[in-house]
């Protein structure tokens, strides 16, 4: 069968690639055409567009690039019509994919949505739209099932694909040596991971402040999780921040290896907060956007927290520094609360380590990709029989 898949960011690319691997197990003749990234390319098929070209974050950024975005949507619709897939699989990426779902419904293309748009967070009326235009919805958080039940919409809970990605990860025992981090570790410096995000706007908004904290805390070794397929200039602020203590480094495409060695972390809000917690690393969650975007979101948001860790645990387990609260002073103070100073281990760090374990238990075991692929195959066969 022919599968048209749309993933619009780094995490979507990863989860879509794992789903593709499992689809092949159910359908050896599967033919893929997609909007995605390098992970999906490794599986096979034809990539129409890389997500690096299509990702825009924030209302202001979207407005500035509206003509470009609308052009991408038009291109995608034409490509679907030309390809005539048996199913269109939409992976997260709400702003783009909800429009494509509506188009698919109008043109009578079967469409499945994997990793629901976060309609439970803001603009909940969009759940009604999803019910109308999406044929099957596969969700990754238990609370999403009860949320959609309020709209009389049956969805399928498949577990969290993040656990699949982590289960497939093979630790590099030479990580420290390969990245020349062993000398600093010999000086007993604990590693603090910096995860500034995967988009240009996120990195621009977050990294400079995170590096200022690193400069003021030479007792730790700060390592930035970089992404090699982003332009080098995104990380220019690192070169400007390297100081006499030489306690700031960057590694590319090795986030899980970094987290497996990290003592604590500063993390831009998103999927990375969940990954960091699953690795059992205490963290401070950070986020900053344009004042215009923040003013709009503040009025629309319906949830008490922004980090997935706090949402899953249903409490304030990790500190969230948002907008004006995200500054050098606050970030440094919160980071020190969860990081050991010599042999002193603070109460907040101990509690966060415990909460990480509870979160892992709540998320369950790996297998989301396998379960989703089997359900999709079943639903496809049911559709063919009609």
First to last CA, the chain: 16
CB 312: neighbour CB atoms within 10 A? 21
Which of 293, 268, 278 minimizes the C-alpha distance to 364? Answer: 278
What's the pTM value of the predicted model, to 2 decimals? 0.79
The whole-number pLDDT of residue 300 equals 66
pLDDT tens digits for range 60-104 = 566 666 777 788 999 999 999 999 999 999 999 988 999 999 999
Does 313 or 184 have the greater pLDDT score?
Answer: 313
The reply to whether domains 2-159+367-385 and 172-363 share a CATH topology is yes
Kindly give, in sequence order, each residue whose CB lies less than 8 Å from that of residue 51, ignoring residues fewer than 6 positions away.
Answer: 7, 8, 9, 10, 12, 13, 35, 36, 37
pLDDT tens digits for range 13-65 = 999 999 999 999 999 999 999 999 999 999 999 999 998 776 655 555 666 66
- Domain 2-159+367-385, CATH 3.40.50.300 — does that match? no
pLDDT tens digits for range 186-231 = 567 899 999 999 888 889 889 999 999 999 999 999 999 998 878 8
Residue 228 has phi, psi (to 5 degrees) of -70, -25
Q: Helix or strand or coil: residue 156?
A: strand
The whole-number pLDDT of residue 367 equals 94
pLDDT tens digits for range 119-169 = 988 778 899 999 999 999 999 988 899 999 999 999 999 999 999 889 989
Residue 286 pLDDT exceeds 60: yes
Q: For the chain, what are the domain ranges?
A: 2-159+367-385, 172-363
Overall CATH class of domain 172-363: alpha beta
């Amino acid at each position: 069968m022919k599968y048209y898949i749309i993933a619009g960011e780094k995490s979507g690319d990863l989860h879509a690639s794992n789903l593709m691997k499992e689809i092949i197990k159910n359908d050896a003749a599967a033919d893929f055409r997609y909007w995605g990234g390098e992970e999906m390319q490794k599986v096979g098929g034809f990539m129409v567009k890389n997500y690096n070209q299509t990702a825009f974050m924030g209302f202001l950024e979207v407005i500035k690039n509206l003509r470009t975005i609308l052009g991408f949507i038009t291109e995608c619709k034409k490509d679907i019509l030309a390809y005539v897939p048996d199913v269109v699989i939409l992976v997260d990426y709400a702003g783009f994919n909800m429009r494509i779902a509506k188009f698919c419904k109008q043109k009578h293309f079967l469409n499945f949505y994997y990793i629901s748009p976060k309609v439970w967070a803001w603009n909940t009326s969009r759940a009604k739209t999803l019910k109308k235009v999406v044929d099957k919805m596969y969700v990754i958080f238990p609370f999403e099932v009860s949320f959609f039940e309020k709209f009389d919409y049956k969805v399928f809970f498949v577990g969290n694909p993040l656990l699949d990605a982590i289960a497939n990860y093979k630790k590099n025992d030479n990580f420290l040596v390969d990245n020349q981090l062993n000398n600093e570790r010999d000086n007993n410096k604990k590693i603090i991971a910096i995860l500034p995000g995967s988009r240009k706007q996120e990195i621009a908004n977050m990294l400079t402040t995170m590096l200022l904290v690193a400069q003021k805390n030479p007792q730790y070794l700060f390592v930035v999780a970089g992404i090699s397929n982003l332009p080098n200039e995104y990380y220019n602020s690192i070169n400007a921040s390297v100081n006499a203590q030489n306690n700031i480094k960057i590694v590319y495409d090795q986030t899980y290896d970094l987290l497996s060695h990290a003592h604590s972390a500063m993390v831009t809000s998103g999927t990375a907060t969940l990954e960091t917690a699953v690795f059992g690393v205490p963290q401070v969650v950070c986020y900053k956007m344009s004042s215009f975007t923040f003013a709009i979101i503040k009025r629309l948001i319906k949830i008490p927290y922004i980090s997935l860790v706090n949402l899953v645990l249903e409490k304030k387990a990790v500190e969230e520094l948002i907008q004006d609260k995200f500054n050098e002073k606050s970030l440094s103070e919160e980071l020190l609360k969860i990081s050991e100073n010599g042999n002193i281990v603070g109460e907040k760090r101990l509690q966060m380590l415990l909460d990480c374990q509870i979160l892992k238990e709540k998320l369950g075991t790996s297998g989301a990709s396998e379960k989703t692929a089997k359900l999709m195959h079943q639903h496809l066969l049911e559709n063919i029989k009609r």
